[in-house]
Amino acid sequence: MTNEPDPNDLPKRPAPFVPVLHDDATSDFVGLVLVRNHAERHGEVEPGLPVWILETAFAEDARERYEWMLTRPERWAVWARLAPIVGPEMLTLMMEGEQDEDVRLAAELQAQADRLAREARTVAAFSTEVDARPCVTLGRGSDREPFLVIAFEKAVERDRLWDWIRWQTHRFRGWRMLWDDKGPGALRRLIVKSMLHDEHRVREAGQALGGPRPLRLWDGGRRPG
């Protein structure tokens, strides 16, 4: 029984075709060429005859296309084989289509990453139960557990707080910053104090209800228009 060589240990062959950038604006030619590579070692380039040529009006355009081509080394040999079949103009159009698709996919991935980052930072409140006790919780999207749990003995007590806290979404991120800075005790005190202040204000305006949930029909102070 012989040990077969590990493919990872075998020397890598040089790329058979490589893109070459000509971005000297003072020369007669500004653009890109895809050339046969006669180098004998991986990573080296010994340019041969071009199989595809793209002349550009501006060096910046050539650099942009070249930088994109460098991200697609697996396509160099494919493009080289297509060049004599479809012709240089059609190959250029095909490459432009591939580049546009890469740009679109990159934009989608960036948008998804941005959305996930926003969700990870977003603070949300919930009226729920924890260990069979009525609670209001505050949690951040990136955390598995809420960072603040306010528990009550009775559901009506929880609902009283929820009648107020559900209108405070504009304060949630600031509350998380206070929690980070001064801890849960300070945040609880702020929340209760703010709720009592609004309850008093709404009562003074004659807009509160009687009973244990004075803000049950409160609209958070919003007014039409």
pLDDT (tens digit per residue) in 95-125: 999 999 999 999 999 999 998 888 888 999 9
Place 224 in a pLDDT band, splitting at 50, 70 and 90: very low
CA 9 distance to own-chain centroid: 37
- At 10, the pLDDT band (50, 70, 90 cuts) reads low
Beta strands per DSSP E along 41-132: 47-55, 123-130
Q: Which of 217, 118, 222 is nearest to 173 (CA)?
A: 118
Average pLDDT over residues 4-16: 68
Domain parsing of the chain, residue ranges: 1-86, 123-204
124: closest CA among 193, 171, 185? Answer: 171
Please provide the average confidence, as pLDDT, over all residues in the chain.
90
Average pLDDT of span 162-167: 96
Residue 30: DSSP 8-state: -
Question: From CA 90, how far away is CA 70, in angstroms rounded?
Answer: 20
